[in-house]
Amino acid sequence: MRRFAGLHLLHLESVDSTNSYVLSRPDLLLKAGLVVYADHQTSGRGRMGRRWFLGSRGNLAASLVIQPDLPKDYLSCMTLLVGLGVYEALSTLGLEGLSIKWPNDILIADKKVCGILCETSGAAGLQAIVAGIGLNIRGDRDDFPPEVRGRLTTLESHGVRPSRKEMLELLLDHVDRVLCLASEGHVDMLLDKWEGSSSSIGRRVRFSQDGNTHVATIAGLGPHGDLRVRLAGSASLVTVVSGEVEYL
Ligand code: BTN
């Protein structure tokens, strides 16, 4: 019996963005555990204001309404915890080279197969988090626009062809399991697991912060899911709380 993710499912044929749809509907934001998923998205949104292309071959676009049962200090970890749940679901498919890239991209052999956009709503004092998951299941990277093709992959390219509904159920089971463990006080253990599942630790990266671009090596996660990096040529650790890193 799920407690946090996937208690009710709402299917839409077409929508601008499943995240935008949920965020614009306070009645849906009140439904903890709701999942909205769609066959088509006309304006799918990615992190950092980018577009998200769903492709036309049965990929997954779903938004989870989560009302986490976590102390405030840990809320910033939610995005990592959802990513860990998705990673754990995909790892049951026997994929080679699966990893998490901070904060919550899921990669196969360093190409992105799944992106997650976590947003919060200020509406009516709600504490709901909308976790939008875009998973490339079918086809290959040629089904995506040229500008993103080189960075993406699909499950089918790696020999796995689950249906969208099977994948959704699998993701919900694993995300729910991670959120249950988090609510039972196991966040530190889950963050250790995240580190063990990530290709980011020890990696040389480029990132931007405060208008400057830096090269650094990732040292690990801080206690609340922020990233600790060692800048090139420096011994001290710097914290990165948001944004993204580029693998070098
Ligand atoms: C990223 O940039 O990596 C995040 C991509 C998130 C895409 C999903 S698809 C379902 C949900 N609706 C959206 O508009 N975006 C998210």
Q: What is the pLDDT of residues 177-223, one digit of tens each?
A: 999 999 999 999 999 999 999 999 999 999 998 889 999 999 999 98
Examine the domain organization and report whether 112 and 65 are in the same domain: yes
Per-residue pLDDT, 236: 85
Q: What is the pTM of this model?
A: 0.95
Per-residue pLDDT, 126: 66
Distances (CA, A) of 204 to 61, 97, 221, 229, 248: 31, 18, 15, 9, 6
Examine the domain organization and report whether 133 and 224 are in the same domain: no
Examine the domain organization and report whether 160 and 227 are in the same domain: no
Give the residue with greater pLDDT, 72 vs 233: 233
Assign residue 237 the CATH number of its domain: 2.30.30
Examine the domain organization and report whether 76 and 129 are in the same domain: yes
Per-residue pLDDT, 228: 96
Whether residue 62 has pLDDT greater than 80: yes
Mean pLDDT, to the nearest integer, of 163-172? 97
Mean pLDDT, to the nearest integer, of 62-77? 85
Per-residue pLDDT, 75: 75
Mean pLDDT, to the nearest integer, of 99-117? 97
Q: Is residue 2 part of a domain?
A: no
CB atoms inside a 10 Å sphere around CB 109:
14
Assign residue 188 the CATH number of its domain: 3.30.930.10
Examine the domain organization and report whether 115 and 134 are in the same domain: yes
Q: Which of 40, 54, 133 gets mutated to test ligand 1 (max ligand atoms within 8 A of its CB)?
A: 133
Structural domain harbouring 220 = 204-247
Examine the domain organization and report whether 157 and 236 are in the same domain: no
Q: What percent of the chain has pLDDT over 70?
A: 98
Query: Which pairing describes strands 227-231 and 237-240: parallel, antiparallel, or unpaired?
Result: antiparallel
**Pocket of ligand 1 from Cβ distances under 6 Å:** 17-19, 41, 44-47, 50, 52, 61-63, 105, 115-117, 132-134
**If phi over 0 gives left and psi between -120 and 50 gives alpha, with beta otherwise, what is residue 185?**
left
Query: Tell me: the pLDDT tens digits for 10-57?
Result: 999 999 999 999 999 999 999 999 999 999 999 999 999 999 999 877
Using pLDDT thresholds of 50, 70 and 90, give the confidence band for residue 107.
very high
Per-residue pLDDT, 142: 86
If one counts the domains in the chain, the total is 2
Query: Tell me: the pLDDT tens digits for 116-164?
Result: 999 987 665 667 899 999 999 998 888 889 999 999 999 999 999 999 9
Examine the domain organization and report whether 192 and 210 are in the same domain: no
Examine the domain organization and report whether 147 and 218 are in the same domain: no
Examine the domain organization and report whether 151 and 223 are in the same domain: no
Ligand 1 mean position to 45 CA, how many Å? Answer: 5
Ligand 1 mean position to 156 CA, how many Å? Answer: 20
Examine the domain organization and report whether 128 and 229 are in the same domain: no
Examine the domain organization and report whether 178 and 232 are in the same domain: no
Mean pLDDT, to the nearest integer, of 88-102? 97
Per-residue pLDDT, 68: 83
